[in-house]
Amino acid sequence: MKKSILILTLLALTLTLGAQPNQRLQELERTLKELGFGVYHSQRTSRGIEHRWTVHVFLSDRKPFVSEPLWEKLTAEEARAIQHKADSFQALNYQRVTEALGYIRNTFSTLSAEASESYMYEMHNAGDTIIYSMAWSTDSMPLSSWRTADKNVIYNNAREAVSFHCTRARNLNSIGGRYSHLYIEPYPEPMGDIKSFDAETYKTTVVEPCMKKALRLKGARKYPVYWRHDEGYDADVAKELIWKTTLQSDHGPNKHTGLTTGWLYFIPKAYMNEASELLATLDSLSYAYVNQHYDQDYTYHFTPQFSQSAGYSIPLISGSNWPDHQPVQTSYQLGAYWDEDGFYFTSITTEGELWLPRDYTKLKSWVNGERVLRK
């Protein structure tokens, strides 16, 4: 087993060393991370091994929420202290966002002369709009581009592309910006069509051996997952669901049904170190797996962490059967999150659309809105 892991790790390292995204963009992303912005890096199968870095540069004009009953109990001095802290935080965050915008603007300006194509648009009137985009062509495919209705520029067949779209409401003092950097790493060898993600092999070689060891911990549990919605059922998202996926199919009618099955693993909060080690092991083995099976449809997310918001966590890994051109898509994902009770891992397969019911960690099943709690 150790020898197999070593071989997979060496292969993963070899593939990593082959990736050479633009160093100035990588430097910008490190700077944004140092400023406190989340830099999300994913890898997936595409025209090659696709890497994408995403950063949300966000500033809200919303004040900290204090309920009316609590506010009425505050003294004038306490209310002023809360407002002062909020104003100080807002000023610090504004400075951080302004500094980030400066670094982004300078980087795009510097690299625009080197790119195969570049586009920079700014409008400063009642509010501010900033749209930057650049792309570098491949040696084998011509670069093409088109402009969308909202003035964004989309590039096709790029070896590397980067964009930034930011708007600011001048009167409201709120800023919303999205940075996206795409790099296509060539496959290590010539490859044919992309295959479906082999979830069964991934589960038996990566997930199940790790979870078998974790279940030896006192209080650890393994619960079956069964969430289903049939044709014609329309859930009240606000009351029943955390979120739902809606799919469109080019290979047959989609009745918008969904069946999600699998397992939810629970580790008590007393085992924080063990849960963190388990997540790190799953991450290492998953990365090695996708690099060994880069011809399968998958998306892998770097820097895994336990989300504090159940249902909104980014899956560690996901994959689907879309290359098979089936009318009903089958997808798999492995996710991790935690709450006041402990740590959770979901290993689930969905036929059709994934609808995530509220309080699903406590459910034995959810069928068309009917909830059955575990005893």
* Tens-place pLDDT, residues 292-330: 999 999 999 998 888 765 555 678 999 999 888 777 789
Tell whether 52 is covered by a domain. Answer: yes
Picking from 185, 215, 248, the residue at the C-terminal end of a domain is 185
Per-residue model confidence as pLDDT tens digits over 101-130: 999 999 999 999 999 999 998 888 767 889
What is the spatial distance between Cα 264 and Cα 343, in angstroms, rounded to a whole number? 10
Q: Are residues 323 and 256 in the same domain?
A: yes
How many domains is the chain built from? 2
* Cβ count near 142 (within 10 Å): 9
CA distance 317 to 295: 15
Average pLDDT over residues 70-91: 70
Q: Residue 112: give the domain boundaries.
A: 22-185
Q: Residues 82, 157: one domain?
A: yes
pLDDT in tens, 7-65: 444 444 444 444 589 999 999 999 999 998 989 999 999 889 999 999 999 876 555 55
End-to-end CA distance of the chain: 38
| Cβ-contact 142, 159 below 8 angstroms | no
Q: Give the percent of the chain with pLDDT over 70.
A: 85
Of the candidates 325, 317, 321, which has an alpha carbon nearest to the alpha carbon of residue 351?
321
Co-location of 165 and 292 in the same domain: no
The single residue listed with the structure tokens 């003294």 is 75
Cα–Cα distance, 12 to 4 (Å, whole number): 12
220 touches 267 (CB < 8 A): yes
Q: How many CA atoms lie within 13 A of 276 on its CB side?
A: 5
Same domain, 89 and 171: yes
Structure tokens at 16: 């990593």
Token couple for 298: 């998958």
Q: How confident is the model at residue 333 (pLDDT cuts 50, 70, 90)?
A: very high
Q: Smallest Cα–Cα separation from 301: which of 311, 313, 316?
A: 316
Q: Please report, for residues 78, 79, 237, 288, 358, the alpha-carbon distance to residue 232 in angstroms, rounded to integers and kept in the order given.
A: 53, 51, 15, 41, 20
